[in-house]
């Protein structure tokens, strides 16, 4: 049975002043101060939106992000006000910084590819000699990236951010402090569920002269997790680590000769493969939250989604 997915939105809310369609999220501006962020069921990899939506993906991302935003609000303020529908988060409009705060606890992914090429510096941060893929860093490292409107984000060092005044020094130092504290909390919460938070990214903005955490945190689209059970043994034996993240989608694309490069074609996504991706996202939700994912609650028509969101907007107007 084919499940309806939310891949395109064209909502009209009262006092709507604009809309931005991202790779995965559609962001509606309400007046001057409020944003409605709709997490669609679209999935992207290598900066390309894949041709089929993934059932429940938007609801899963939205619910994981809202849970972690609520459970880290004692560390730093964030933009979230409410989640009036499974796929919807409503929050305060912030002035975003054009930098993503990437923090890495392990030599994996982009860091490993850089290391394997012979480089020992990433974003101005030195990486120790003698490490193997997926080894733990002595201390987590922050490797920022500039946010690109189109194409790939670019690595940048702390010093370059200061020199180019992309983020004022005081604000950047606050972002660094928050990043380390959030990663430490995320690591503790993951460990409690038998997982290792490998790396992740945070986005910040300014609201009323205060640095505020924005967007999603600790979701499978923004973070990488390993299973803690067997990690050490797999490292000793030089085996591949068991991951709980979107990485398996990238691996499937690479196996099918697609990395988003010119002239390459996205491979066919069978219904069986789409359902496999959906089940993997559900597994990650249940492992991360310790709660059963309720498909019935997460299933909502676009009409009901708009109705419930508008009801909340009316309440706060």
Domain count along the chain? 1
Asked whether residue 199 is domain-assigned, the answer is yes
Asked whether residue 145 is domain-assigned, the answer is yes
Which CATH number fits the domain that encloses residue 113? 3.30.470.20
Asked whether residue 41 is domain-assigned, the answer is no
Asked whether residue 117 is domain-assigned, the answer is yes
Asked whether residue 139 is domain-assigned, the answer is yes
This prediction's pTM: 0.90
State residue 1's pLDDT score.
Answer: 41
Going residue by residue through the chain (317 aa), what tens digit of pLDDT does each one get?
457 899 999 999 999 999 999 999 999 999 999 999 999 999 998 889 999 999 999 999 999 999 999 999 999 999 999 999 999 999 999 999 999 999 999 999 899 999 999 999 999 999 999 999 999 999 999 999 997 655 567 899 999 999 999 999 999 999 999 999 999 999 999 999 999 999 999 999 999 999 999 988 999 889 999 999 999 999 999 999 988 878 889 889 999 999 989 899 999 999 999 999 999 899 889 999 999 999 998 989 999 999 999 999 999 98
Asked whether residue 107 is domain-assigned, the answer is yes
Domain that holds residue 137: 95-244
What residues are paired with 164 via a beta bridge?
none
Asked whether residue 270 is domain-assigned, the answer is no
Asked whether residue 134 is domain-assigned, the answer is yes
State residue 150's pLDDT score.
Answer: 56
């Amino acid at each position: 049975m084919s499940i309806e997915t939310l891949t395109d939105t064209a909502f009209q809310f009262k006092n709507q002043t604009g809309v931005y369609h991202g790779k995965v999220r559609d962001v509606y501006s309400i007046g001057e101060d409020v944003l409605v962020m709709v997490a669609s069921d679209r999935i992207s990899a290598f900066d390309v939106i894949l041709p089929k939506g993934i059932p429940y993906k938007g609801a899963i991302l939205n619910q994981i992000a809202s849970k972690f935003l609520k459970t880290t609000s004692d560390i730093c303020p964030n933009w979230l006000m409410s989640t009036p529908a499974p796929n919807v988060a409503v929050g305060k409009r912030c002035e975003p910084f054009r930098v993503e705060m990437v923090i890495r606890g392990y030599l994996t992914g982009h860091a490993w590819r850089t290391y394997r090429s012979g480089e020992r510096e990433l974003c101005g941060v030195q990486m120790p000699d003698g490490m193997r893929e997926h080894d733990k860093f002595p201390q987590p490292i922050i490797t920022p990236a500039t946010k690109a409107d189109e194409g790939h984000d670019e690595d940048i060092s702390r010093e370059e951010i200061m020199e180019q005044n992309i983020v004022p020094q005081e604000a950047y130092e606050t972002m660094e402090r928050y990043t380390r504290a959030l990663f430490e909390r995320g690591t503790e919460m993951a460990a409690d569920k038998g997982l290792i938070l490998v790396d992740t990214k945070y986005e910040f903005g300014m609201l009323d002269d205060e640095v505020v955490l924005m967007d999603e945190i600790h979701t499978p689209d923004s973070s990488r997790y390993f299973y803690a059970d067997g990690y050490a043994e797999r490292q000793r034996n030089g085996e591949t680590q068991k991951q709980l993240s979107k990485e398996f989608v990238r691996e499937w694309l690479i196996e099918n000769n697609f990395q988003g490069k010119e002239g390459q074609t996205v491979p066919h996504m069978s219904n069986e493969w789409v359902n496999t991706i959906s089940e993997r996202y559900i597994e990650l939700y249940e492992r991360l939250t310790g709660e059963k994912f309720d498909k019935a609650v997460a299933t909502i028509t676009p009409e009901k989604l708009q109705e419930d969101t508008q009801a909340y907007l009316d309440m706060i107007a």
